[in-house]
Amino acid sequence: MSLLDFVPSSLLTLGAALSLCLGAWLAFFVDESSGRFSGLTSSLSAGIMLTLGASMLLEDFAPLPVGLFVAGALATAALLHVSHHHAHHASSHSGAYVAGLSAAAVAAHSFPECFALFSAAMVSLPLGLALAAAMVMHHIPLGLSVAAPMRAEAGGLGKSLKYTALAGFAPAALAVLTYAFSHTLFSPDSLEPFLAFAGGILVCIAVIELLPGAWRVGKTGVVGAGFAAGAAVMSTVLLVAGLWEG
């Protein structure tokens, strides 16, 4: 594992994860009652993640990568279910309690994304950059949701930024450490099929989390256009990355 790849991949993952803080800050200055912003950004992010996740599987359609792809999707679906369950049961409590529990749920939700982002960036920085952009578009609305219960409380902005900073930093650091630890147990070549695991994560997040969320708050035409634009951007990035590496 080259330090020249590790450092930019780590910084990219951390920066994308900490975009939650931007969403928390915007919650105090932007009216998101219409849901248009969330609908557009979620559909764009879904198009990017679904296209990249599918490409990771199609790159090596052998039994092991397919099994890892399914495992990544199932593990992520279970984690999303748990995070949504805890966020739902916080709704009757104080703003600070809701924000804190929402931040914990977002952190659990973000770990597979951070792992997929770091894994992709270690293989190809252009892919990592595209996935980081998708993650930022997805995390800004998440930051908004964490900070929303704190808007009416004294010192709400500072507390929201603290919660979202922890919710962003913890899964990013854990993802980097998990990847680094796996490299101490396996050779780099044996880890190549695990990109399919990351692909399963991305497809699951796009299908179970992003697209349904976009349809709930956004107009059909906007969501469809956002998804198509995201898929087109990711396809272009994949083509450029292939030419660069070739």
Per-residue pLDDT at 33: 55
Mean pLDDT rounded to a whole number for the chain:
80
Question: Does 183 score more than 80 pLDDT?
Answer: no
Question: Does 66 score more than 70 pLDDT?
Answer: yes
Task: Name which residue leads in pLDDT, 242 or 229.
Answer: 229
Per-residue pLDDT at 240: 75
Contacting residues for 191 by C-beta, under 8 A, at least 6 apart: 182, 183
- Rounded Cα distance between 177 and 60, Å, is 26
Judge contact between 135 and 118, C-beta under 8 A.
Answer: no
- Rounded Cα distance between 68 and 57, Å, is 9
The one-letter code for the residue type at 203 is: V
Which range, of 12-21, 30-39, 101-110, 131-140, averages the lowest pLDDT? Answer: 30-39
- Rounded Cα distance between 102 and 148, Å, is 10
**Band of the pLDDT at 171, cuts 50, 70, 90?**
very high
Question: Does 203 score more than 80 pLDDT?
Answer: yes
> What's the gap between Cα 85 and its chain centre?
19
Question: Does 52 score more than 90 pLDDT?
Answer: no
Task: Name which residue leads in pLDDT, 87 or 144.
Answer: 144
- Rounded Cα distance between 246 and 237, Å, is 14
